[in-house]
């Protein structure tokens, strides 16, 4: 028995110790489990009247009798039950208002919570409520708190939860295009044990889409199509996008042409623009501007829309041949001339300037069988330059009929027109001997052998210039005499040396006569100074100069 009593006493003692330890652990756990939210978001009116309860601060696991609650904003006060009441009239701006509430127990440990006052931006009937846990027992066994996106992390202040009922409130408008969903964690405490449930409950709030975004154009609206293209030719594609939810009618876009439908059309679903005619002419109008409309909801009257202008440029094709300014030309050339510019032939072309469709190419199609002429294009003016390459012989022909055809570098396209031609009549002028005198021509035989070039230095406006022409027919051995045409300057050039030679001869004769006279005087002095009466009186057997 004694042993049993001792054992019973021992067991009782150990039980009391165990019970005491258990109570101590519960007390410590209660102290450690004292909980206060880090932040609280509440919806308030723009003007808060005095006495208005803006929020109620709930402490979990704290001794309600010993905890001391204080508010840091002098416009508010907090009661012992955690109710925060406005002392004066408070104005809440669009950015809201923030103040802090602290809870301190006997141990001196302090916890703080930020209270965010959010001004209501919508009527109360539009504030959504989401009952997370359904209906609860009337004894209200739990407290509910939330954290995460839309609560205390970006974007903050979007949701709030009633700690008693677990109702989730939307505090301000949300934008699905900016934040399509929110991941929230709900923390649940047991009111009787002040214990937190083992796991936080994840909540996902998905934002439903509304058609609040009009479609937008994507990329440049500038297209190019060849002129005179056939009807149905693709011009380009108009691209558009919509920020609303994919797969809904909010992003189904219909394309229409507000203007320009007389020459173009657009597919209502794909936005592909095509031509409806083959009469597009760049020379008449090189750019067409059409107005494009894009509307979501598949073009329904309640759909949002946008309009913009698209520019359609016509690219050039060679549908216009060059045209001559005159119907014919008459020119004159001397029979001995060569490598001389005879004629400039201007043309007009409606195609795009400085392209192969505009650049001219001239061809001598008739009359140049012997190769006496050549024609090239002036790259600056696009004119035809007609030259004589080899001299003509008046005795063989005094008139040459040429035919000049104007073409383009590029072939004709998209037109029934053909290349145009004009006649050029070349009159050959015979070169005659020039008589001496001003403005006359004389023939001087000047032999030459295959000179590289011959330049005409005479002009009807400058009669005193000098012109010397040389030529030699290819394949001939003999040299050919050509005439030299000259005026007053040429005559003076020939007469001046002759006059100088004549003057020199006269001077020489004069000096000779003077010398002879001196010799005669000297001879008369040697015979006694008796002058001779006459040359005929000289003795017959002697000479006067011996």
- Alpha-carbon distance 345 to 363, whole Å? 12
pLDDT, one tens digit per residue, over 341-386 is 999 999 999 999 999 999 999 999 999 999 999 999 999 999 999 9
Query: What percentage of the chain has pLDDT greater than the value 90?
Result: 40
Cβ-in-10-Å burial (0-12, 13-18, 19+) of 54 comes to buried
Confidence (pLDDT) at 115: 86
pLDDT of residue 67: 80
Q: What is the pLDDT of residue 235?
A: 96
**Winning range, highest mean pLDDT, from 362-366, 459-463, 492-496:** 362-366
Q: Which CATH architecture has domain 216-315?
A: Sandwich (2.60)
> pLDDT at residue 340 above 70?
yes
More confident residue, 235 or 16: 235
Residue 500 has pLDDT above 80, yes or no: yes
pLDDT of residue 59: 74
Query: Alpha-carbon distance 455 to 471, whole Å?
Result: 11
Tell me the domain boundaries of the chain: 30-206, 216-315, 323-429, 432-471+479-486, 505-546
pLDDT higher than 70, residue 537: no
Q: For strands 110-119 and 39-44, give the pairing.
A: parallel
- Name the more confident of 423 and 55: 423
Span 84-91, mean pLDDT? 90
pLDDT of residue 236: 96
The dihedrals phi and psi of 139, each to the nearest 5 degrees, come to -80, -5
| For the ranges 308-312, 457-461, 495-499, the one whose mean pLDDT is highest | 308-312
Tens digit of pLDDT for each residue in 102-146?
888 777 778 888 888 887 654 433 334 443 433 334 446 788 888
- Specify whether the CB–CB gap between 236 and 288 falls below 8 A: no
Instruction: Tell me whether the CATH fold assigned to 30-206 matches the one assigned to 216-315.
Output: yes
Q: Is the dihedral of CA 402, 406, 412, 414 positive or negative?
A: negative
Residue 290 has pLDDT above 50, yes or no: yes
Domain 323-429 in CATH 3.40.50.300: no
- Name the CATH superfamily for 30-206: Cadherins (2.60.40.60)
The sign one gets for the Cα dihedral 213, 218, 224, 228 is: negative
| pLDDT, the chain, mean | 77
Rounded to an integer, the average pLDDT of 519-523 is: 59
Query: pLDDT digits over 210-222, tens only?
Result: 999 999 999 999 9
pLDDT digits (tens, 9 = 90+) for 312-335: 999 999 999 999 999 999 999 998
**pLDDT given for residue 520 in this prediction:** 63
């Amino acid at each position: 028995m004694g042993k049993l009593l001792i054992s019973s006493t021992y067991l009782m003692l150990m039980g009391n110790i165990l019970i005491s330890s258990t109570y101590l652990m519960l007390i410590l756990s209660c102290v450690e489990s004292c909980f206060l939210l880090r932040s609280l978001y509440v919806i308030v009116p723009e003007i808060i009247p005095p006495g208005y309860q803006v929020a109620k601060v709930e402490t979990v696991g704290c001794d309600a009798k010993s905890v001391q609650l204080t508010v840091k904003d002098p416009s508010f006060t907090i009661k012992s039950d955690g109710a925060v009441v406005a002392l004066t009239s408070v104005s809440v701006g669009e950015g809201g208002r923030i103040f802090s509430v602290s809870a301190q127990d006997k141990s001196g440990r302090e916890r703080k919570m930020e209270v965010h006052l959010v001004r209501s931006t919508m009527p109360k009937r539009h504030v959504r409520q989401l009952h997370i846990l359904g209906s609860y027992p009337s004894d209200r066994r739990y407290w509910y708190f939330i954290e995460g996106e839309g609560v205390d992390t970006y974007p903050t202040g979007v949701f709030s939860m009633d700690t008693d009922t677990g109702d989730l409130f939307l505090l301000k408008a949300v934008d699905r295009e900016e934040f399509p969903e929110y991941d929230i964690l709900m923390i649940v405490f047991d009111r009787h044990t002040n214990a937190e449930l083992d796991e936080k409950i994840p909540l996902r709030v998905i934002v439903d889409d509304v058609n609040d975004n009009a479609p937008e154009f994507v990329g440049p609206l500038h297209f190019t199509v060849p002129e005179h293209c056939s009807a149905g030719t693709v011009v380009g594609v108009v691209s558009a996008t919509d920020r609303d939810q994919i797969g809904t009618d909010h992003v189904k876009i219909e394309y229409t042409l507000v203007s320009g439908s007389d020459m173009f059309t657009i597919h209502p679903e794909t936005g592909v623009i095509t031509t409806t005619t083959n009469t597009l002419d760049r020379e008449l109008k090189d750019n067409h501007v059409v107005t494009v409309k894009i509307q979501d909801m598949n073009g329904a009257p309640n759909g949002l829309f946008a309009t913009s202008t698209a520019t359609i440029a016509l690219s050039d094709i060679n549908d216009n041949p060059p045209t001559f300014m005159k119907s014919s030309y008459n020119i004159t050339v001397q029979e001995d001339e060569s490598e001389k510019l005879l004629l400039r032939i201007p043309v007009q072309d409606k195609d795009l300037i400085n392209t192969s469709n505009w650049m001219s190419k001239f061809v001598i199609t008739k009359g140049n069988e012997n190769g006496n002429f050549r024609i090239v294009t002036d790259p600056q003016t696009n004119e035809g330059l007609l030259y004589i390459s080899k001299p003509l012989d008046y005795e063989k022909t005094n008139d040459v009929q040429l035919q000049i055809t104007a073409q383009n570098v590029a072939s004709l396209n998209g037109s029934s027109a053909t290349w145009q031609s004009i006649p050029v009549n070349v009159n050959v002028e015979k070169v005659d001997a020039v008589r001496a005198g001003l403005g006359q021509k004389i023939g001087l035989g000047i032999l030459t052998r295959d000179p590289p070039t011959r330049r005409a230095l005479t002009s009807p406006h400058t009669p005193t210039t000098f012109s010397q022409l040389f030529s030699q027919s290819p394949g001939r051995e003999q040299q050919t005499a050509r005439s030299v045409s000259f005026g007053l300057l040429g005559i003076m050039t020939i007469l001046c040396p002759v006059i100088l030679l004549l003057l020199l001869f006269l001077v020489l004769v004069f000096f000779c006569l003077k010398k002879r006279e001196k010799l005669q005087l000297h001879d008369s002095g040697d015979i006694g100074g008796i002058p001779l009466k006459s040359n005929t009186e000289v003795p017959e057997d002697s000479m006067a100069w011996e």
